[in-house]
Amino acid sequence: MASESHQLHILFFPYLARGHMIPMIDMAKMFARRGCKSTLIATPHDEPTFLKSIAKPKSKPKDLGFDINVVMVTLPLKKVGLPEDCDNLNKLTTEEMRKQFLRAITMLDRQLELLIEKLAPDCLISDMFYPWTTEIAAKCGIPRLVFHGSSAFSMVAEECVKLYEPHKKVSCDSEPFVIPNFPGEITLSRTQLPDFIREETELTKFFDVVKEAEKRSFGIVMNSFYELEPAYADHCRTFLGRRSWFVGPFFLCSKEIEDKAHRGNQASIDQHECLKWLDSKQPNSVIYICFGSIANFDDAQLHEIAVGLEASEQQFIWVVKKDPNVEEGKEKWLPNGYESRIRNKGLRGWAPQVLILDHEAIGGFVTHCGWNSILEAVTAGVPVVTWPVAAEQFYNEKLVTQVLKIGVDIGAKQWVRFSGDSVKSERVAEAVKRVLVSEEAEEMRRRARALAEMARGAVEEGGSSWSDLGALIQELKSHKLARSKKI
Ligand code: UDP
């Protein structure tokens, strides 16, 4: 391990939503494995999940050079009018609550400043949703790196759309346009853009502030690897002029089963039981369906999925969010006699996703195109059915279907926060069969496997992500040295 004076200490400040927390915890581990001291900021509610995620595997010796801690901040929820237990984005149900939540987060500025004074880290890596942290880091004399949580493809696509406004030059919502000055002739329609891009809202202004803060930061740490999206990584660096380090997939630094099983939440199924069930299946014969931590379909849509999956006649593991008010198996959307007829795995709650995707029985993944899910599918060599819902997911869909060519789209045409576009059961059945048992499935799987190999190669010693991380650590060390000479 590096000696105390030379060891870099990095403070990680994740956004309080599972899709952001999970990769940042992985990133903290990744830096720790390269000899840095990592400190993660959590809220009292999330602390147990953080501690579980960073617990050292029992089977490993203690002296791994693995130096990682958790410290806490408390959200002033009462002050903004939110109930005490609303300390994570995943628990908020209305637009108003989300605004209050963002306000509460902004009020963490003083707590962050005090933490930096007390812990004296050499660098802050904070989520893009915390633009105000650029100023605090500057005031404390340390660099701030931004964590984006998505692909270079989506980041650059959105900037090009904002810059050239092609969506304002089409005659109707459904008319396709090509994203200007963006590699690959990528087409989108207005309905597939986020609402805050289609029209000016409070969020439009917020994201402008995010971008400005990003430009003034030290750079961006990307949970991606260069070989996955070289043209877009280059465009990010040269056209947008952003200093960026492609050091992912972060989660590949977790090698132990226990480590992978407890990412983000307590799984609601015993991983051993789940893996045993998969062990009894043929390779590439099961489809996995999961829409991340935020998307939430209504009963009518869940019913369409259930009918579509049955009609596809394929085996599946389907993760459905738990409804605390309804007894399991008695949900209104469940077709009569479904669970006794369909001898598959329906799972309410949280799945050990990475373990499931890694199993050879999994032949396809129906996903909402959250970046973590895409990266996990790519790394497992599993082709996908793309069903984007909101956020930057429609861009990610294009990367998967038009550039990487490892997926088929379900035909979602409308960006709708949380619930997405409605999709009929016939489309579900058709897309599932296309990705699992068609001729094109083999071709997609071959391409996905090649990418999986590249992903693993990237994080190995000498690989692109390994080297980029080494270069970043080196730069941060030089910065630390220069700073210590000034003091
Ligand atoms: N995830 C999981 N089990 C679940 C649902 C999600 O482990 O039942 C993990 C998934 O592996 C991924 C993250 O939660 O790492 C979801 O992130 P993503 O970017 O795909 O979507 P988001 O939740 O941000 O919409």
- First-to-final CA distance of the chain: 26
d(C-alpha 28, C-alpha 54), whole Å? 9
Sheet holding 407-409, edge to edge: 345-348, 315-320, 286-290, 362-367, 384-386, 407-409
Q: Is the CB of 375 under 6 A from ligand 1?
A: no
Strand 144-147 versus strand 123-127 pairing type: parallel
Among the listed residues 220, 467, 486, 436, the one whose alpha carbon sits nearest the alpha carbon of residue 317: 436
Atom nearest to 391 CA in ligand 1: 25
Q: What pLDDT was estimated at residue 484?
A: 87
Atom nearest to 376 CA in ligand 1: 11
Atom nearest to 349 CA in ligand 1: 8
Atom nearest to 295 CA in ligand 1: 25
Rounded to the nearest whole angstrom, what is the distance from the C-alpha of residue 22 to the centroid of ligand 1? 8
Per residue in 324-341, pLDDT (tens digit) is 889 988 999 999 999 888
d(C-alpha 262, C-alpha 351), whole Å? 9
Q: Using H for helix, E for strand and C for coil, what is the string for 372-428? A: HHHHHHHHHCCCEEECCCCCCHHHHHHHHHHHHCCEEECCCCCCCCCCCCCCCHHHH
Q: What pLDDT was estimated at residue 64?
A: 55
Q: What pLDDT was estimated at residue 3?
A: 46
Per residue in 240-263, pLDDT (tens digit) is 999 999 999 999 988 777 778 778
Residue 475 parent element (H or E) = helix 464-486
Tokens 């908020």 found at: 92
Q: What pLDDT was estimated at residue 94?
A: 84
Positive/negative CA dihedral, 106, 139, 41, 23:
positive
DSSP letter, residue 282: -
Rounded to the nearest whole angstrom, what is the distance from the C-alpha of residue 18 to the centroid of ligand 1? 7
Rounded to the nearest whole angstrom, what is the distance from the C-alpha of residue 385 to the centroid of ligand 1? 16
d(C-alpha 434, C-alpha 445), whole Å? 12
Which of 9, 20, 262, 303 is labelled catalytic? 20
Q: What pLDDT was estimated at residue 1?
A: 44
Which of 87, 127, 421, 468 is labelled catalytic? 127
d(C-alpha 169, C-alpha 155), whole Å? 21
Q: Is the CB of 373 under 6 A from ligand 1?
A: yes
Q: Is the CB of 263 under 6 A from ligand 1?
A: yes
Active site residue 148: no
pTM above threshold 0.80: yes
Per residue in 431-471, pLDDT (tens digit) is 999 999 999 999 999 999 999 999 999 999 999 999 999 99
Active site residue 20: yes
Atom nearest to 373 CA in ligand 1: 20
Strand 286-290 versus strand 244-246 pairing type: unpaired
Q: What pLDDT was estimated at residue 150?
A: 96
Q: What pLDDT was estimated at residue 4?
A: 52
* CB 408 within 8 Å of CB 377: no
Q: Is the CB of 292 under 6 A from ligand 1?
A: yes
* CB 335 within 8 Å of CB 362: no
Q: How many CB atoms lie under 10 A from the CB of residue 139?
A: 11
The best mutation among 16, 22, 92 to test binding of ligand 1, ranked by most ligand atoms within 8 Å of the C-beta, falls on 22
Rounded to the nearest whole angstrom, what is the distance from the C-alpha of residue 123 to the centroid of ligand 1? 27
* CB 457 within 8 Å of CB 228: no
Q: Is the CB of 166 under 6 A from ligand 1?
A: no
Q: Which residues of the chain have pLDDT under 70?
A: 1-5, 56-65
